[in-house]
Amino acid sequence: MVDDLNFVLGAEAGESNYERPRVAVLDTGIRPDQADNFGISDSRYQDFTVPPGVARSMRDDDGHGTSIVDLIYSICDPADVFVARVWDKGKTVAAAKTIESIIKALKWAKEHNVDIICMAFGFDNANPGLREALKEALLSANVLLFAAASNDMNRSGVVYPARWDDLVFCMFSTNGGAKNSRGINPTGLGHDNFAILGEDVRVLSDGPDDTYEISSGTSYSTAIACGLAARLLDFSRQKHVDGTRYRGLSHDLKEKVNMERVLRSISEKDEEYHCIAPWKLLSERFRGQAGDLTDEDLEQARQDVFRRIAGCLGRF
């Protein structure tokens, strides 16, 4: 289904003169070899774990950050991904230094005009300074914020910053059939409780040979949700969409309430969770047809997606 979405929502051949979505990943960094593969330059990387003046070369001693970046690119390869290293390895700890690194990274991301920030981690306790930094990113820069619902599967409640779902998309997990991952998800928050694939996900391993492994968790759901949001923004900015049908679609999609409407429209309710089924963006007759559509069918499929998105925003 990813292939279907990428084929239908991808830019037309030769179209490159539009603003690509920018996604900032706040995590454990990125391996230099993978940064080269993705085309992530030094200007799109910053290490906030080392003191000023210390060399800040690309690194990822854990592998988590690299796997998150890989997942985002698998959903939206046109994206420009920025990587902020905010902790070293292992489970995130709400130490003052880590919170400080995240706050600095949020400011850095905002200065680079990112559209989406991916925070595939969480803390047990709230931090007022972190909330203010997130609020600033949302309100002053109109950034879409995504965070993982849990660090410990369903053994504890929703963690911060995902618990602040007035600011952040709190991401829960589904299985491949868009059903609630009961062994992974903590109890929902009583609002949308958006969930997307996070169970048995094919993720890049920490090995040197570009091998993949199967893993589960809401951190992977967060990355996939960011990739989907980036793919929608990318589609909305392509000339034939933003220039000839509904000028302003890309701007409107960056409003949290509007992205919520779109995600809700392609979700299936399972208990308290809105389980996102990305294939619902496509009309049923175009599903499973990646690469086999005629030019006429492809244009019709794209028009259908446009109508769905614009309809969610009350513009069609």
Lowest mean pLDDT among 93-97, 167-171, 172-176, 192-196: 93-97
pLDDT at 93 over 70: no
What is the per-residue pLDDT across 59-75, written as a single tens digit (0 to 9) for each? Answer: 999 999 999 999 999 99
What's the whole-number mean pLDDT along residues 200-217? 90
| Cβ neighbours for 151, distance < 8 A, ≥ 6 positions apart | 91, 92, 121, 122, 159
What's the whole-number mean pLDDT along residues 251-255? 93
| Joined tokens for residue 98 | 């880590």
Other Cβ atoms within 10 Å of 62 Cβ, number:
18
Return d(Cα 168, Cα 165) in angstroms, integer: 5
What's the whole-number mean pLDDT along residues 281-309? 89
Three-state DSSP at 172 gives strand
| Joined tokens for residue 123 | 């803390």
Lowest mean pLDDT among 72-81, 126-135, 184-193: 184-193
**Which three-class secondary structure string do you get for 58-119?**
CCCCCCHHHHHHHHHHHHCCCCEEEEEECCCCCCCCCCHHHHHHHHHHHHHHHHCCCCEEEE
Cα angle, residue 114 at apex, residues 110 and 119 outer, rounded to 5°: 85
Return d(Cα 172, Cα 270) in angstroms, integer: 12
pLDDT at 242 over 60: no
Return d(Cα 119, Cα 161) in angstroms, integer: 8
* pLDDT score at 95: 63
pLDDT at 259 over 60: yes
Which domain, by its residues, includes 230?
A: 2-312
Q: What is the mean pLDDT of the chain?
A: 91
- In this structure, is the dihedral angle defined by the CA atoms of residues 88, 224, 43 and 32, taken in order, positive or negative? positive
Confidence band for 246, pLDDT divided at 50, 70 and 90: low
* pLDDT score at 52: 77
Amino acid at 29: G
Return d(Cα 316, Cα 314) in angstroms, integer: 6
* DSSP count for the chain of H helices, then E strands: 10, 11
What's the whole-number mean pLDDT along residues 228-243? 86
Among 83-92, 109-118, 155-164, the range of highest mean pLDDT: 109-118
pLDDT at 248 over 90: no
Is the peptide bond preceding residue 161 cis, with omega within 30 degrees of 0? Answer: yes
What's the whole-number mean pLDDT along residues 247-266? 93
Return d(Cα 86, Cα 270) in angstroms, integer: 34
Among 59-63, 263-267, 288-292, the range of highest mean pLDDT: 263-267
Is there a contact between 118 and 226 (Cβ–Cβ < 8 Å)?
Answer: yes
Return d(Cα 176, Cα 163) in angstroms, integer: 25
| Joined tokens for residue 92 | 């995130």
Confidence band for 39, pLDDT divided at 50, 70 and 90: very high
| Joined tokens for residue 149 | 């619902």
Three-state DSSP at 188 gives coil
What is the per-residue pLDDT across 133-181, written as a single tens digit (0 to 9) for each? Answer: 999 999 888 999 999 999 876 667 999 999 999 999 999 999 999 999 9
pLDDT at 217 over 60: yes
Lowest mean pLDDT among 49-63, 82-96, 271-285: 82-96
Return d(Cα 204, Cα 214) in angstroms, integer: 9
Overall domain count for the chain: 1
| β-sheet bridge partners, residue 47 | 85
Is there a contact between 177 and 185 (Cβ–Cβ < 8 Å)?
Answer: no
Confidence band for 316, pLDDT divided at 50, 70 and 90: low
**Domain CATH code at residue 135:** 3.40.50.200
Other Cβ atoms within 10 Å of 197 Cβ, number:
27
pLDDT at 299 over 70: yes
* pLDDT score at 21: 97
Is there a contact between 159 and 127 (Cβ–Cβ < 8 Å)?
Answer: no
